[in-house]
Copies of this chain bind each other. A is one copy, B any other.
Amino acid sequence: MNTFGNIFRLTSFGESHGEAVGGVIDGCPPGISMDLEFIQAELDRRKPGQSSITTPRKESDKVEFLSGIFEGKTTGVPIGFIIRNNNQHSADYDNMKDLYRPSHADYTYQTKYGHRDHRGGGRSSARETISRCVAGALAKLALKEIGIDIKAYTSQVGSVRVSKAYTELDLNKIESTPVRCPDLDVAQEMIKLIHEVKSTGDTIGGIITCVCTGVPVGLGAPVFNKLHAAMAAAMLGINAVKGFEYGLGFEGVQHRGSEINDIFYGTEDGKIKTKTNHSGGIQGGISSGEDIYFRVAFKPVATILMEQETVDKSGKDVVLKAKGRHDSCVLPRAVPIVEAMAAMTILDFYLLNKTVHI
């Protein structure tokens, strides 16, 4: 069950302190030019140690492709790839072998599997998400050929939030600040807050907003496999995510139908569009041709550099003081992961949609 997708599929493997993380990308269309520079740049966006507001763990995070590529292009057969782990400080975790860190997966993994690699969180570490960024980068390259673009940004850290709608922002400025917020004033406040939280050894959560443009009408299936249901599963599959909403989301429950129904109109060139897009680009589970946008809530990461009470495997009280190297706020590094999962989902549903008609 470590496979994501129906047609374009990523099967991922790897633990935080194992030999390598990696995966197999299956169902990638043939003939996509491998822009290795772009792919590496995507990995660098989620890399630890990229700025003063991320964990200092240093990983080169160089991806090695092992199959599925010939003469610089994908061939349609599976693309195997690995990224070696090389900056593990496994000894940092020796004292955690037999205790359960609060709000971590230690207890549930141990109970489910009976035997686990505890070092650095093992399989539950967000280090695994590097495989998603590789597959997501490939998905983006494929989507680019059909005019689909996906951009995510940090729209809230703690209670510091962007009040403008995405349509009022210049999304090309996302990469201008280390926190990946295109509203530059708000970005400065976010960075300040993260530094303050970091200085206390604590952590803080936030929200990422994602926008998919150029998605054609028709992606998604009725009833269970609605496009937004798949997108929700994709996002909730990311570490530390606690919520998902699209279009007006939770805020929309307070409105009346007459206020937020999206009114259709015909364009001069014969297309059908809507005057507003409160629906978030999806109607009845199927993309409408309008922008798809959604928001993803991240809790503060569980590892804090403060003393915490907990228990060991036998249930005895102990006090934990984490060492390791950790992020005070995962949002900036989670932006490319949100994009990667969104790109895989959209490409998967794009390919799936080709099976509708004979």
With A20-B66, A358-B142 already in contact, the answer to whether A82 and B79 are too (CB < 8 A) is: no
| Least CB separation from A102: chain B residue | B261
Chain B proximity mask over A126-142: 1 for CB below 8 Å, otherwise 0: 00100000000000001
Number of copies: 4
| Pair B114/A30 contact, Cβ less than 8 Å | yes
Give A279 Cβ to nearest chain B Cβ, in Å.
6
With A243-B249, A264-B310 already in contact, the answer to whether A26 and B1 are too (CB < 8 A) is: yes
Chain B proximity mask over A143-174: 1 for CB below 8 Å, otherwise 0: 00110000000001011000000000000000
**Which of B107, B287, B298 touches A264 (beta carbons < 8 Å)?**
B107
CA distance A244 to B124 in the complex (A): 22
**Which of B3, B124, B267, B309 touches A222 (beta carbons < 8 Å)?**
B124
Size range of the chain A interface in the assembly: 35 or more
| Pair B304/A253 contact, Cβ less than 8 Å | no
| Pair B19/A254 contact, Cβ less than 8 Å | no
With A29-B358, A203-B256, A243-B249 already in contact, the answer to whether A75 and B300 are too (CB < 8 A) is: no
Residues of B within 8 A of A298 (CB): 253
Give A199 Cβ to nearest chain B Cβ, in Å.
12
| Pair A2/B224 contact, Cβ less than 8 Å | yes
